[in-house]
Amino acid sequence: MKKVQFELMQPQEIIDAKKSWNSMKSFYLPEEIFALGVRIYLEKLVVQGYRLIVMVNGHGATNQIQTLERLAKEFSNERKVTVLTAFVAMPDENGVIDYGHASAAETSKVMAIHPEAVNLSRLPVKEKPLKYRYWAVVDSDAFLGRPNADFEVQDDPRLMANPQRGEELLNHAVKQIVEKVRHEIESWTEDKEKVK
């Protein structure tokens, strides 16, 4: 079993962290614990007779996405159920997916759903660049291994986040998820026709 590892902050990091409101580093459940929790929910849905289950991930990291996909395949192959996965960050018209953390795209989605949960005034003034490590605001490119040279946010929520953008991004994601589900259900109908 993997153990949760904690890093000791260096003195300068502690001083810098006190300047920001994000002094707590991210805390993730070990994958096996996350998988166990999801497995329990899936088992209960199967027992209740669901034939199609769609797990929509709105904020998970790569390992969590992989865990959901693995469980979806396992349940779909071994039980009388189809389990699909979907991610709220769906490809745009150019095929680009924004995986940013608290970036303008993600912040916009929260503004559209729960505007009271967003307080951009807690970030430094707009003229001061946001460093990834101090504010936990990270661009998609950084997660894809292509951070900018200064490790500063480009998709800055202070400058580019708004509820309208969030509404557009969420509507786009919903349309794509609905299409995925519709395609799956139509394939059931086609398979049924083939059996006749």
**Predicted pLDDT at 93:** 73
CA dihedral 53, 56, 60, 64 (to 10 degrees): 20
Q: Are 187 and 60 contacting, i.e. CB atoms less than 8 angstroms apart? A: no
Q: Where are the domains of the chain?
A: 26-87, 91-196
Q: Tell me the three state secondary structure of residue 95.
A: coil
**pLDDT, tens only, 38-97:** 999 999 999 999 999 999 988 777 888 899 999 999 999 999 999 999 988 877 777 777
**CA pseudo-torsion sign 164, 167, 173, 176:** negative
What per-residue confidence (pLDDT) applies to 29?
A: 77
SS3 48: coil
CA 87 to chain centre: 6
Nearest to 165 by CA among 77, 116, 105: 105
Q: Bridge partners of 86? A: 56
Predicted pLDDT at 191: 67
Q: What is the mean pLDDT of the chain?
A: 83
Determine the pLDDT at residue 171: 92
Share of the chain above pLDDT 70, in %: 82
The string of pLDDT tens digits covering residues 148-179 is 899 999 999 999 999 999 999 999 999 999 99
> 87-128 pLDDT, tens per residue?
888 777 777 778 889 999 999 999 999 999 999 999 999 999
Burial of 163 (0-12, 13-18, 19+ CB in 10 A): middle
pTM of the model: 0.76
Please tell me the distance from the alpha carbon of residue 22 to that of residue 46, in angstroms, as a whole number.
Answer: 40
Q: Which residues of 112-127 are buried (b: 16+ CB within 10 A; e: fewer)?
A: beeeeebeeeebeeee
Q: pLDDT category, 21, cuts 50, 70, 90?
A: very low
What's the token pair of residue 49? 């007779």
